[in-house]
Amino acid sequence: MAKFSCCFGMVASPTNGVLVHRELLDVENMRLYTYKDLQIATGDFKPENKIGQGGFGSVYKGLLKDGKIVAINVLSAESRQGLREFLTEITIISDIQHENLVKLHGYCVEKDHRILVYGYLKNSSLDQTLLGGNHCSIKFTWEIRRKICIGVAKGLTYLHEEVQPHVIHRDIKASNILLNEDFTPKISDFGLAKLFPSHLTHISTCIAGTLGYLAPEYAIRGQLTRKADIYSFGILLLEIVSGKPNQNKQLPVEEQYLLERVWELYREGELKRLVDTSMEDDDEDYDKDEACRVNLRVNKV
């Protein structure tokens, strides 16, 4: 899915590497890794250790010298995440700790290499599992889906209300929701995040995020509020309940866009048809009416 931004970051260089170190001098609890450290951890970035691929680069599973298993996000030279976004991600996530936010252990900046080191999460991201097609062996019961929805909501509430200044993520989507071994969701990728002082009603800023998840008022006027994240979260809820991505060009034209399909079913009074039918099999906790109510509330926001 296309990531959209009208701002461009700086290109990495040795000079920018010095700039990164200078700007991160005051960041606590953040380790600086050497490129050699991460080469060893990933077996020289062997293809079999690659666990993900995104718009910003590749993610590898690694084993550090201290025995810690980590996810190593190697930003590509062509990455849409510029130096400013790289710095933003480190400074914001280093200052906040919450059960539903990813844990950033450290970073590496050497020559043209920009790498982020996160805690490893066994069950990957929602877009690779729940929305990734039939190759996923995980059975997403209603209990698991409910847990994911509530966890993401708690993480956003923490960012929007408890952190000072508040944080607007700006890129809530399935690929940025990671899952640990017990399916606790972790919000990831803070490269586009904005600090939002509590006395402001909005921030006028460059439009950034992922098409299909952008709130219309933000995409049109560039006025950012916490409602931008809430809209994206609503789209995510629809994906979780339906088991379908918000865009799928392989479907018939009338079914390619999830939000349009939801509105059509809502007008017909047939929202129950949107609920993922795979939950009906062997799921004692499945409550189709509750799942339907989630869809209904999203449509009324």
160 DSSP 8-state letter: I
Whether residue 165 has a cis bond before it, omega within 30° of 0? yes
Task: Give every CB contact of residue 68 below 8 A, 6+ residues apart in sequence.
Answer: 105
244-247 long-range contacts (CB < 8 A, ≥24 apart) are: 244/131, 244/276, 245/1, 245/127, 245/131, 245/174, 246/212, 246/213, 247/1, 247/211, 247/212
C-alpha span between 4 and 1 (Å, rounded): 10
Shortest CA distance to 83 belongs to which of 173, 14, 159, 176? 14
Question: Token pair for residue 142?
Answer: 């209603």
Which residues participate in catalysis according to the annotation?
171
Distance CA 142, CA 291 (A): 8
Instruction: Report whether 166 contacts 159 (CB < 8 A).
Output: yes
